[in-house]
Amino acid sequence: MSKIRTIIVDDEPLARRGIRSQLSEEKDFDVVTECRNGREAVEAIAAHAPDLVFLDVQMPELDGFAVVEAVGVKRMPSVIFVTAYDRYAVRAFEVHALDYLLKPFDDERFAKAVERVHRQIDQAGLQDLSRRLQGLLDDLKPARNYVERLVIRTAGRISFLAVADIDWIEAADNYVRLHAGRESHLLRETMTSLETKLDPNQFLRVHRSRIINVRKIKQLQPLFRGDYDIMLLDGTRLESGRGYRDRLQSLLTGLA
**Within the chain, what is the greatest distance between any pair of CA atoms?**
60
Q: Which of 101, 111, 132 is nearest to 9 (CA)?
A: 101
Q: How confident is the model at residue 31 (pLDDT cuts 50, 70, 90)?
A: very high
Judged on CB neighbours under 10 Å (0-12, 13-18, 19+), 25 is exposed
Q: How confident is the model at residue 89 (pLDDT cuts 50, 70, 90)?
A: confident
pLDDT, tens digit (0-9, with 9 covering 90-100), for 90-110: 777 887 888 888 888 888 899
pLDDT, tens digit (0-9, with 9 covering 90-100), for 129-160: 888 888 888 877 654 568 888 999 887 788 89
How far from each other are the two terminal CA atoms of the chain, in whole angstroms?
39
Mean pLDDT computed over 53-74: 86
pLDDT, tens digit (0-9, with 9 covering 90-100), for 191-225: 888 888 888 778 888 898 999 999 999 998 888 77
Instruction: List the domains of the chain with CATH numbers.
Output: 4-140 (3.40.50.2300), 149-255 (2.40.50.1020)
Q: Provide, rounded to the nearest whole percent, the portion of the chain with pLDDT above 90.
A: 36
pLDDT at position 112 over 80: yes
